[in-house]
Amino acid sequence: MRKIFLLLVGILLIHCALFSQTVLLSGKVIDKENQDALYGVNIIITNADELLVNSKQLGTATDFDGNYKIALYPGSYIVKFVYIGYEEISKSIELEVGKPVNLDVEIFQKAEIIDEIVVSAGKYEQKLSDITVSMEVIKPSTIDNNNSFDMSDAINQVPGVDINDKQPSIRSSTGWSYGAGSRVIILMDDLPIMSADVADVKWNYIPVENISQVEVLKGASSVLFGSSAIGGVINVRSAYPTDKPVTKISYFNGIYGSPKDERYKWWAKEFYNGGNSNFNVLLRDEVFYFVRNPMYSGISFSHSQKFDNLDLSMGGNHFIDEGYREMDFEKRSRFNANIRYRSKKVNGLAVGVNSNFMAIDMSDFFMWASDTTPYLANKSLGAIVPTQGYRMNIDPFIYYYKPNGSKYSLRTRYFRTENVMPTDTSKNSTSHSYYMEYQYQTVIAEKWNLAAGAVYAPSTVQANLFGDHYSTNLAVYSQLDVRFGRLKANFGLRGEYFLLDSIQTESAFNINMGDNSLEIPIRPVFRTGLNYQATERTFLRASFGQGYRFPSIAEKYTATSLGMVNILPNPRLIPESGWSAEVGVKQAYKLGKWRGFADLAIYNQDINNMMEFTFGVFNPDTYMSYENTDTVDPVIGFQSQNYGDVRIQGFDLSATIGGKLGKNILTTMVGYTFNDSKLRNGIDTTTSSTSSLLKYRQRHTLKADISLESKRITFGANVIWRSAMENIDRLFCDERDPETVNSSDYAFYQLFSGMILPGYWDYRIENAKRQYLNVDLRFGFKFSERLRASFIVKNILNREYVGRPGDMHAPRRFEIVLSAQI
């Protein structure tokens, strides 16, 4: 027995000696086309003959430089390289003791548009075809081709999204709110970029010169992004350096053409005793003559480069606009820099800071002087508001990626806005926003993706306009994505606490404790969704999500006036809440060398206690709507009110296709949206017509873009059509038959409309059915791979259009763009 025991021990020692010797497998994974290193490629290793006892899958992931390494026992293995948006590649290897193996791999990017990589749908990277909600993606080429020097121009081209007086609206979730509050949250690198006071976004602050892509998420998204995401999300993602340094410089110059109606051409008229300092003028016989049409121009640059383990990207922009309306000008300078350091000692650790700064000197045009001079401001209302100031954000962050695919991140942001009114210091304001988000993400058994996080976001506001205020926002959230074969499901939950001064979130939970009850002031929201891959190219989806929005400080407390028009506070304003649901299908197709996809979504959104700005007559003491029994003189103006419970129903239909036409590349996009938005109960008596459609919204929208590109020449066109805006505030214009309404009310509204907006009543009656049609043409020429020029004509039909009352859009514009890449 002793000999047998010694023999077994000897065999065991020999076995351990043989198999304790591991072999190093290492290598690098790069993009086949541009030779860039790929970070985060999953490497799945399976024993080929499955003879080992421990034959389960092993794996690792590439680091920031695309490198990987793993120690394995000797034997035969199959190594699979998996990366979202790229073709999977498998390699067979044989490992022997004392012979390390280096396996470098080049992988191909998939050509399907449907395989675009997005983050916003679940706060982790996934394919566009896999998500359970509707999403659109804007690439930098779209921004560059159309010379969208203001991000709102690019956003306005997305099907289902409209920009009304700089206010974003997804699927008619928002009308016109005079720049205060938003149902669409705007993010820059996954963090909110909306001011603490007004809760709005300044599109000119977003650095369009340094963008990797823009993701537009449609529908309630409060689970992942909190308040203001009740209507959707717009996430602008910055670009980071590739392996090769890139420097881009762009300059453009534009000029406003003459409007069709010569009466609008105010710059050609005579002005006595002075002139606009923004223009070159000629003095003749004590009369100033403008010698040219107003112009605008801009120059921008960006540079990105890797310095060993340090990534640097920076950019800047300077823009001057003389304005097509009297005294409506803009001058701004912007600079941004993103720095990221990838640790050499700790694999997967990265720290960095992103920053952006903009100084601006501009004026805000409010209402026209008359319908025959719509490009002149109504000075009696103080309808031109000069503004100076700056915005800045500093965003320190730290990421840690474990080899098993887990990710830990801490992202922070300090955002400051400063607004100075040179002519009226009572409107000055300063706001400070602080944002901190910790997130944990992990993959379980290659089928479960868990994302969870916590948010802390305090802010302070000092403003003469609406007083000094502070707020605190706390939240925890989680979302689980699960895959069962062709079916993918997700479930998300968020709890939110919000405090504005002494007013906090209404209690949603009550715990009985005998004679007392404990109230927990947390707002819970839930979301869920399904995505089923019916065929290789057919994806069905369904989703449900809850949302909410707290009133902004400006909506609740603003108290100011523009001449005889007042903006009134509403301390009774309460938060709005709601839900949205949709079913959709995404169908990819391939016809020879032509590829594309079509997407159809049918949706419903309910919003309770919707907050909308209403223009009307009010009691100045109570801030309530004016009654005939009131003993004080009424005031007219705007006030944010809980409008009521609304329902928005409709559908989106969009399609893209691209391929070769001879030696040219042709790409097209077309999208149509139908919206039916109305009160669920009752009739709105503040609207201008008998239509049930909510104010400042359109029922039909069609958008299309076509681009034809050869080796040196590019040609493209962009078309946006909207049906007429059926309803506005009744005080601006009452389109009802005078015989069917109270004659005294009708006369009262007509009188005040004439005082506030001279000529608008008649203009609206005459043009109420006018539809919006804008056509832009572009032509480009490549002198070389590094230098190109473009000529763009915007509003080539020179169509006249008024959006919200008193705001006539620009006439035809001509732009020349020169771009270079070094």
Give DSSP secondary structure letters for 572-629.
T---EEEEEEEEEEEEEEEETTEEEEEEEEEEEEEEEEEEEEEEEEE-TTT-SBP-TT
pLDDT at residue 298, as a whole number: 96
Q: Is the pLDDT of residue 208 over 90?
A: yes
Check: CB of residue 46 under 8 Å from CB of residue 80.
yes
Q: Is the pLDDT of residue 2 over 70?
A: no
Q: What is the pLDDT of residues 370-394, one digit of tens each?
A: 888 899 887 766 667 788 999 999 9
Phi, then psi, of 267 in degrees rounded to 5: -70, -10
Nearest to 415 by CA among 195, 179, 184: 195
More confident residue, 325 or 177: 325
Nearest to 188 by CA among 173, 201, 170, 179: 201
Check: CB of residue 410 under 8 Å from CB of residue 438.
yes
Helix (H) or strand (E) holding 766: helix 760-767
Q: Is the pLDDT of residue 521 over 60?
A: yes
Q: Is the pLDDT of residue 583 over 60?
A: yes
CA distance 764 to 44: 65
pLDDT at residue 288, as a whole number: 47
Check: CB of residue 315 under 8 Å from CB of residue 303.
yes
pLDDT at residue 511, as a whole number: 53
Region of residue 229 (phi > 0: left; psi between -120 and 50: alpha; otherwise: beta)? alpha
Check: CB of residue 206 under 8 Å from CB of residue 188.
yes
How much of the chain exceeds pLDDT 90, in percent? 40
Query: How many C-beta neighbours within 10 Å does residue 493 have?
Result: 17
pLDDT at residue 631, as a whole number: 76
pLDDT band at 443 (very low <50, low <70, confident <90, very high): confident
pLDDT at residue 439, as a whole number: 95
CA distance 352 to 64: 14
Check: CB of residue 561 under 8 Å from CB of residue 567.
yes
Q: What is the pLDDT of residues 227-268, one digit of tens each?
A: 888 889 999 999 888 878 999 999 999 999 999 988 888 887
User: In this structure, what DSSP letter does residue 264 have?
Assistant: G
Check: CB of residue 60 under 8 Å from CB of residue 28.
no
Q: Is the pLDDT of residue 693 over 50?
A: yes
User: In this structure, what DSSP letter does residue 795 have?
Assistant: S
Q: What is the pLDDT of residues 778-800, one digit of tens each?
A: 999 999 989 999 999 999 999 99
Q: Is the pLDDT of residue 87 over 50?
A: yes
User: In this structure, what DSSP letter does residue 752 have?
Assistant: H
More confident residue, 143 or 776: 776
pLDDT band at 556 (very low <50, low <70, confident <90, very high): confident
Q: What is the pLDDT of residues 346-368, one digit of tens each?
A: 888 999 999 999 999 998 887 88
More confident residue, 715 or 513: 715
pLDDT band at 742 (very low <50, low <70, confident <90, very high): low
Encoded tokens for 392: 């800045």
pLDDT at residue 509, as a whole number: 54
pTM of the predicted structure, to 2 decimals: 0.84
CA distance 398 to 739: 68
pLDDT at residue 604, as a whole number: 96
Query: How many C-beta neighbours within 10 Å does residue 622 have?
Result: 12
Nearest to 121 by CA among 223, 271, 7, 269: 223
pLDDT at residue 510, as a whole number: 53
Nearest to 465 by CA among 390, 392, 385, 393: 385
CA distance 188 to 239: 11
CA distance 329 to 320: 8
Q: What is the pLDDT of residues 606-636, one digit of tens each?
A: 999 999 888 878 887 887 877 777 778 878 7
pLDDT at residue 182, as a whole number: 84
More confident residue, 119 or 666: 666
Give DSSP secondary structure letters for 187-237.
EETTEE---TTT----GGGS-TTSEEEEEEEES--HHHH-TT-SSEEEEEE
pLDDT at residue 743, as a whole number: 67
Query: How many C-beta neighbours within 10 Å does residue 433 have?
Result: 24
pLDDT band at 117 (very low <50, low <70, confident <90, very high): low
pLDDT band at 274 (very low <50, low <70, confident <90, very high): very low
pLDDT band at 283 (very low <50, low <70, confident <90, very high): very low
**What strand order describes the sheet that includes 42-47?**
58-61, 42-47, 75-82, 89-95
Q: What is the pLDDT of residues 475-513, one digit of tens each?
A: 999 999 998 889 999 999 999 898 888 777 665 555 555
CA distance 618 to 148: 41
CA distance 727 to 724: 9
Give DSSP secondary structure letters for 267-336.
GGS-EES---TTS-EEEETTEEEE-S--EEEEEEEEEEEEETTEEEEEEEEEEEE--SSTT--EEEEEEE
pLDDT at residue 731, as a whole number: 81
Check: CB of residue 423 under 8 Å from CB of residue 386.
yes
Q: What is the pLDDT of residues 35-80, one digit of tens each?
A: 778 877 888 887 765 433 334 456 787 876 788 888 888 888 889 8
Check: CB of residue 176 under 8 Å from CB of residue 165.
yes
pLDDT at residue 278, as a whole number: 47
The residue behind tokens 């092993």 is: 58
Q: Is the pLDDT of residue 291 over 70?
A: no
Nearest to 471 by CA among 260, 198, 670, 267: 198
pLDDT mean across residues, the chain = 84
Q: What is the pLDDT of residues 641-679, one digit of tens each?
A: 888 899 999 999 999 988 888 888 899 999 999 999 999
pLDDT at residue 444, as a whole number: 81
Helix (H) or strand (E) holding 429: strand 429-444
HSE of 698, CA atoms in CB hemisphere, 13 A: 25
CA distance 507 to 68: 50
User: In this structure, what DSSP letter does residue 85 have?
Assistant: T
The residue count for the chain:
822
How confident is the model over 148-153, as a mean pLDDT? 90
How confident is the model over 789-815, as a mean pLDDT? 93
Q: Is the pLDDT of residue 24 over 70?
A: yes
pLDDT band at 516 (very low <50, low <70, confident <90, very high): low
pLDDT at residue 282, as a whole number: 46
